[in-house]
Copies of this chain bind each other. A is one copy, B any other.
Amino acid sequence: MSTHRASISDLAAQLNLSVSTISRALSDHASISDATKRRVWDLARQLNYQPNQLAAALRKGRSNTLGVIVPHIDGHFFALVLKGIENGANQAGFNVMICQSNENAVHEKKNLETLLNAQVEGILVSLSLTTKDVRHFEDVRRRDLPLVFFDRILESPEVSAVVLDDYQGAYQAMKHLIGQGCTRIAHIGGPQHLNICKNRYRAYVDALRDHDLPYDPTLVHFCDLTLPEGHEAMEVLLRQNPGLDAVFSANDLAVAGAMQVLRAAGRRIPEDVALAGFSNELFTLLTEPHLTTVDQRCEEMGRTAVRLLLDMVAEQPRRLAPRQIVLQPELLVRGSSQRRLPE
């Protein structure tokens, strides 16, 4: 058994046909007789013929490959989005090349070049935190290559993007807490230069106002939303407001930290203090009681982004207007906030 893969010309030689006939037969072209097609197909199976995608890609100018750039691949969120992307692309017969920028703009630029050299047909990007200068994406535009941002997007009406409606998700969480009878609701917020954190904070403010609850600055604490910072935030908030009766946090990790502090301070959850987080991390089901949170539709975001990209790829004269898709999050009410039985 040789190490040589059967090529189209091997088939041609064995059947006394030309390579063009083989090529057409394999792609079921109309102008090839059924008899010939059958002969070709039979031999192809027999020799275990597998087309060389590279050659086809080169000739057709279509690589059947999509590129993805994410800040990092570990962590719940991006992993799930990638899962959605990968599955969606595969179903459409596309391969996926994944690059990590490691939250580094220089890396991101290099990734972009790599993908362009690999002749991908379209690119999905979630920006790195350090990306300020976005000139490297100009290249993509100039080549008329479909480009879709997701989650961490370039804020511009000229680009296509898929994002979650963070504001809505946060607003729903707040509405739920208020509905449980909470009136002194604290907020643990994230870095306000991130639009996701900004939107969650905005929703907090707006929800209070819409329900005629006063805004109290001592009930709000901003931090980096890690576990220890969640601890610290809760300690500060509790000191300033011993009477608070709920906490809405911009992520799950911080609220998990807050929960530990509250427990240590003898507060019952949810009877004394109701809790709600954001992201639907796995561990929200590991705390006791389980944490109320907002699901970010990660996999759906991936599927949606890739579908949008594939639409753009298919559109021949590339005149599709840029589209922005906003996904609706889902509030998951669990024990940490459920003080009244649902009626």
Roughly how many angstroms separate A139 CA and B47 CA in the complex, as a whole number? 12
Residues of B near A114 (CB, < 8 A) are 90, 95
Roughly how many angstroms separate A90 CA and B99 CA in the complex, as a whole number? 9
Residues of B near A283 (CB, < 8 A) are 282-283, 286
Query: Which of A18-26, A31-39, A50-58, A157-165 faces chain B?
Result: A50-58
Copies of this chain present in the complex amount to: 2
Of the residues B83, B86, B113, B253, contact of A50 by C-beta under 8 Å: B113
A74: interface (CB < 8 Å): yes
Roughly how many angstroms separate A100 CA and B55 CA in the complex, as a whole number? 25
Give the residue name and chain of the B residue nearest to A257 (CB): B286
Q: How large is the interface on A (under 10, 10 to 19, 20 to 34, 35 or more residues)?
A: 35 or more
Of the residues B53, B86, B99, contact of A118 by C-beta under 8 Å: B53
A45: interface (CB < 8 Å): no
Q: Is the CB of A79 within 8 A of B87?
A: no
Q: Is the CB of B57 within 8 A of A54?
A: yes
A143: interface (CB < 8 Å): yes
A119: interface (CB < 8 Å): yes
Q: Is the CB of B95 within 8 A of A143?
A: no
Residues of B near A95 (CB, < 8 A) are 97, 114, 118
Q: Is the CB of B3 within 8 A of A142?
A: yes
A223: interface (CB < 8 Å): no
Residues of B near A74 (CB, < 8 A) are 76, 79-80, 83
Q: Is the CB of A55 within 8 A of B58?
A: yes
Q: Is the CB of A97 within 8 A of B100?
A: no
Given known A-B contacts A283-B283, A286-B286, A83 and B100 have beta carbons under 8 A apart = yes
Roughly how many angstroms separate A17 CA and B204 CA in the complex, as a whole number? 66
Q: Is the CB of A227 within 8 A of B285?
A: yes
Q: Is the CB of A1 within 8 A of B142?
A: yes
Of the residues B5, B79, B119, contact of A143 by C-beta under 8 Å: B5
Q: Is the CB of B96 within 8 A of A97?
A: yes
Of the residues B51, B119, B143, contact of A52 by C-beta under 8 Å: B119
A343: interface (CB < 8 Å): no
Give the residue name and chain of the B residue nearest to A318 (CB): B3
A106: interface (CB < 8 Å): no
Residues of B near A82 (CB, < 8 A) are 73
Proximity bits, A63-77, B CB within 8 Å = 1, else 0: 101000000111110
27 contacts between A and B (CB under 8 A): A3-B142, A5-B143, A48-B139, A50-B113, A50-B117, A52-B117, A52-B119, A53-B118, A53-B119, A54-B54, A54-B58, A55-B58, A58-B58, A72-B83, A73-B79, A73-B82, A73-B86, A75-B79, A87-B100, A90-B99, A95-B114, A227-B285, A253-B286, A263-B288, A282-B283, A283-B286, A286-B286
